[in-house]
Amino acid sequence: MANSSENIKNYSITLLCVIASAFIIFLGFYLKTTAANKLIAQKEVLMKVEEKVDRVYNDYKSLIDRQISMQESIEENANNAGVLFNEGSLIFSVRLMESEDMIDPAQADMMVIESISQIKKVNPRIADIVSTFNRKYINSR
């Protein structure tokens, strides 16, 4: 009887060791799988965050590019308007000075032609109109 209880005790210890080993192996696989799943989930989250950051960056870059383009356009239009105003004022002043006999007509004509050529660089249609008025003025002297 002592031998049989010793065998039962040994079998019980062996069975306990086998069950404990199986549990540890199962726990290792479970933790490994869970860790792998967590890594996959973290990678997916990081990829989504990266995509959103890229999208925001691209949208912001596009907005900045459009703003730069608009500012350049506004600056160019302002410069063109300044040229038109300055040259138009010069033409008016030259013709007024000519009518007051402050400068001779040939000199006035040369200054007006130079102003018209400056206007033509900015806006050819307005230059054509001013040129037509200039020819009319010269022909009516």
Confidence (pLDDT) at 2: 63
Contact 65, 97 (CB under 8 A): no
Rounded average pLDDT per 10-residue block, the chain, 141 residues:
76 87 85 80 89 91 94 96 96 95 95 97 96 94 80
Lookup: tokens for 21: 């080993």
Whole-model pTM: value is: 0.59
For residue 126, the Cα-to-chain-centroid distance in whole angstroms is: 35
Q: Cβ neighbours of residue 131 under 8 Å, at least 6 residues apart?
A: 116
Helices (H), the chain: 2-99, 105-122, 124-139
- Position 122 scores a pLDDT of 95
